[in-house]
Amino acid sequence: MATGKRMKSAREGINPHQLYPVDQAVKLVKDRAKAKFDETVEVAMNLGVDPRHADQQVRGVVELPHGVGKTIRVAVFAKGPKAEEAKAAGADLVGADDLAAKVNAGEIAFDRCIATPDMMGVVGKLGKVLGPRGLMPNPKLGSVTMDVAKAVKSAKAGQIEFRVEKAGIIQAGVGKASFSQSALAENVTAFVAAVNRAKPSGAKGVFMKKVVISSTMGPSVKLDVSPIVSSGAAAKG
């Protein structure tokens, strides 16, 4: 496919073979985000895992220090006092069987879904609807909990979920091009560190084979994640 003049111009000054430190990579991406809308800055990773094996699954959550730059709509399955807690914490949708009926009818006006443990009998029946959208509550990710207020506030503050896809790819939006360079760099670092911590026991060899950052309409820039990975290893030690 032919490369347009705009993309050719955007790629000038970027060495496709070089691994850039996070701060420099973020600057290159920000400088080339010239669209008429506030572009999303995304991180994409090619991991050395085979998700078909249970011991090579990569999944987790991370609360980005500076949020994602958009309003996160949160739905909570809860009853009684817990439903009131969720509403007070800022949940956009709160309910039980009534909320389940809306979801079954295709009314999915939310980005994150949280449930109290006692509601999983209701939520479990929605697996075919919520599962493919990555919205199914999961106790390992903190979205099945009695502390619904904390879960709602974390989701609203910029907590994102990540999960490896079939080809060993993980990708996520980590902010907007309008963010400051330092804010984006901190978000990128937090995301990469979280994925690194989620390295499964079955992963062999190089875990993060390739990591790139880009804006919605801009070229990708390869990241040097070794400082983040090494600092994480030092922290574990």
Report how far residue 139's alpha carbon sits from residue 93's, in angstroms, rounded to the nearest whole number: 20
Q: What is the domain range of residue 61?
A: 18-67+159-236
Which among 121, 136, 156 is the end of a domain?
A: 156
Q: Is residue 132 part of a domain?
A: yes
Site of tokens 């009853």: 79
Q: Is residue 176 part of a domain?
A: yes
Closest by CA position to 196, among listed 170, 159, 166 = 170
Task: Place 11 in a pLDDT band, splitting at 50, 70 and 90.
Answer: confident
**In a shared domain, residues 142 and 200:** no
Position 2 pLDDT exceeds 50: no
Q: Is residue 6 part of a domain?
A: no
Q: Burial letters for 14-30: b for 16+ Cβ neighbours within 10 Å, e otherwise?
A: beeeeebebeebbbbbb
Site of tokens 């390869």: 222
- Average pLDDT rounded to a whole number, residues 46-54: 92
Q: Is residue 8 part of a domain?
A: no
Q: Is residue 90 part of a domain?
A: yes
Report how far residue 115's alpha carbon sits from residue 124's, in angstroms, rounded to the nearest whole number: 10
pTM for the predicted model, two decimal places: 0.82
**In a shared domain, residues 150 and 210:** no
Residue ranges of alpha helices (H) inside the chain are 5-11, 22-31, 80-89, 97-104, 120-123, 127-130, 148-157, 181-197, 226-236
Task: Place 38 in a pLDDT band, splitting at 50, 70 and 90.
Answer: very high
- Tokens coding 194: 């979280």
**In a shared domain, residues 173 and 129:** no
Which among 123, 156, 189 is the end of a domain?
A: 156
Q: What pLDDT was estimated at residue 232? A: 66
Site of tokens 């996520």: 172
- Burial grade of 4 (CB within 10 A; 0-12, 13-18, 19 or more): exposed
**In a shared domain, residues 106 and 218:** no
- Average pLDDT rounded to a whole number, residues 98-103: 95
For 173, the enclosing helix (H) or strand (E) is strand 169-176
Can you tell me whether residue 132 is helix, strand or coil? helix
Q: What pLDDT was estimated at residue 210? A: 96
- Across the chain, what does the average pLDDT equal? 91
Position 234 pLDDT exceeds 70: no
Can you tell me whether residue 30 is helix, strand or coil? helix
